[in-house]
A and B are shown apart, each in its own frame.
Chain A
Amino acid sequence: MHRSMFDFRLGRVLAVGAAMATVAAACGSTPASGPSGAAPASQQVLSINDQTEPNSYDPGQETYTYEAAVGRNVFEPLLKPKADLSDVTGAAASGYTVSSDGLTYTFHIRSNANWSDGKPVTGSDFVYGWKRLLNPALAAGYVDPFFDTNVAGAADYGKVDATNATAIDAFLSGLGLSAPNSKTFVVKLQHPAAYFKWVATLWVGAPIRQDVVESAAGGSFPSSDATKAEAWASNASTIIGNGPFKISAIVPKDHVTLVPNTHYWAGTAAIKQLTYDFIPDANTAFAKYRTGALDIINVQGANVTVVRNDPKLSKQAKLIPRLTAFWMAYNTKRSPLNNQDVRMALAKAIDRNQLTQDVLHGTDKPLTSFLPKGMLGYDNSDNAQSFDAAAAKQLLQKSGVSVADLNKMKLLTRNTTTNQTVNQFIIQQWKTNLGLDIQLNVIDSKTVTKMIRAGNFDIYGPDGWGADYPDPQDWADIFQSGSCHALNWGCPTLPGYDALVQKADASQSASSRLADYKTAQKQLIDTAAVGFLYQQYEYDLIQPWVTNMSITPIDDEYVPGDFYYQGVYIKKH
Chain B
Amino acid sequence: MSAEVGRRSKRSASPSFRPRLPNTRAVSLSLYVVRRVLWMIPVIFFVVLITFVLMHLAPGSPWDKGGGRQLSQSVVRNLNIKYGLDKPVWQQFLLYVWNAAHFDFGLSYQYEGKTVASLILGGWPYTFTIGALAFCLVVPIGIGLGVLAALRQNTRTDYLTMTFATFGASFPNFVVGMLMIIVFGVLAYNVSGGNVSLPVTGFGLDDHLIMPVITLALLPTAYIARLTRASTLDTLRQEYVRTAWAKGLSERLVVLRHILRNSLIPVATALGPTFALLITGSVIVETVFAIPGIGRSFVTAVESRDYPMILGTTILFSVVIALANLVVDILYVFIDPRVRLD
Q: Which residues of A contact B (CB under 8 A)?
A: 1-2, 5-9, 55-56, 58, 61, 136-141, 143-144, 147-148, 157-159, 162-163, 226-227, 230-231, 233-234, 251-255, 277-281, 283-284, 287-288, 290-293, 414, 444-447, 449-450, 453, 463-466, 486-487
Contact = CB atoms under 8 A, between A and B. Distances in A.
Contacts of B186: 287, 290-291
Contacts of A226: 82
A231 to B, nearest CB: 7
Contact of B69 (A9, A137, A233): A9
A253 B66 contact: no
Contacts of B299: 1
Nearest to A487: B69
7 contacts: A6-B68, A139-B78, A143-B75, A158-B73, A278-B292, A287-B186, A291-B197
B59 A233 contact: no
Contacts, number: 174
Interface in B50-104: 58-61, 64-75, 77-79, 81-82
Contact of B67 (A5, A147, A293): A5
A486 B68 contact: no
Contacts of A486: 70, 72-73
Given A58-B112, A139-B78, A284-B200, 10 more contacts: A141-B79, A162-B81, A253-B296, A280-B290, A281-B288, A288-B185, A446-B64, A446-B305, A449-B60, A453-B64
A469 B75 CA distance: 20
A227 B297 contact: no
Counting from the closest, the 8 A-B pairs by CB-CB distance are A446-B60, A158-B74, A253-B292, A230-B113, A6-B67, A56-B112, A139-B78, A6-B68
B287 A254 contact: no
Interface residues of B, number: 56
B112 A230 contact: yes
A283 to B, nearest CB: 6
Interface of B: 58-61, 64-75, 77-79, 81-82, 107, 110-114, 119, 122-123, 178, 181-182, 185-186, 189-190, 194, 197, 199-203, 287-290, 292-293, 296-297, 299-300, 303, 305
B74 A147 contact: yes
A453 B70 contact: yes
A162 B69 contact: no
Nearest to B58: A446
Nearest to A232: B113
B66 A292 contact: no
Contacts of B82: 137-139, 162, 226
Contacts of B200: 284, 287-288, 291, 293
A490 B300 CA distance: 30
Contact of A234 (B67, B74, B113): B113
Contacts of A9: 65, 68-69
Contact of B202 (A157, A159, A254, A465): A254
Contact of A278 (B58, B77, B119, B290): B290
A149 B81 CA distance: 23
B296 A449 contact: no
A487 to B, nearest CB: 6
Nearest to B111: A55
Contact of B185 (A162, A287, A449): A287
A233 B112 CA distance: 9
Contact of B112 (A55, A158, A278, A446): A55
Nearest to B294: A253
A227 B107 contact: yes
A255 B292 CA distance: 9
A162 B78 contact: yes
Chain A CB count within 10 A is highest, among B74, B181, B300, for B74
B1 to A, nearest CB: 18
Given A6-B66, A414-B66, A465-B69, A158 B78 contact: yes
A280 B78 contact: no
B189 A290 contact: yes
A234 B68 contact: no
Contacts of A278: 290, 292
Contacts of B110: 55
B66 A284 contact: no
A291 B201 CA distance: 11
Contacts of A254: 202-203, 290, 292
A284 B78 contact: no
Given A55-B110, A158-B77, A251 B292 contact: yes
A56 B111 contact: yes
B75 A140 contact: yes
B75 A139 contact: yes
Contacts of B107: 227
Chain B CB count within 10 A is highest, among A7, A288, A446, for A446
Nearest to B198: A291
Given A162-B82, A253-B296, A56 B113 contact: yes
B123 to A, nearest CB: 7
Contacts of B194: 291-292
B113 A7 contact: no
Contacts of B60: 444-447, 449-450
A280 B82 CA distance: 29
A144 B75 contact: yes
A231 B114 CA distance: 9
Contacts of B189: 290-292
Nearest to B64: A449
A278 B60 CA distance: 26
A55 to B, nearest CB: 5
Contact of A8 (B69, B182, B290, B303): B69
B195 to A, nearest CB: 12
Chain B CB count within 10 A is highest, among A61, A226, A281, A464, for A281
Nearest to B78: A139
Given A137-B82, A446-B60, A450-B64, A279 B201 contact: yes
Nearest to B115: A227
A498 to B, nearest CB: 18
A7 B178 contact: no
Given A287-B181, A287-B182, A1 B290 contact: no
Given A251-B292, A280-B287, A450-B60, A7 B72 contact: no
B112 A61 contact: yes
B122 A252 contact: yes
Given A158-B78, A292-B194, A8 B203 contact: no
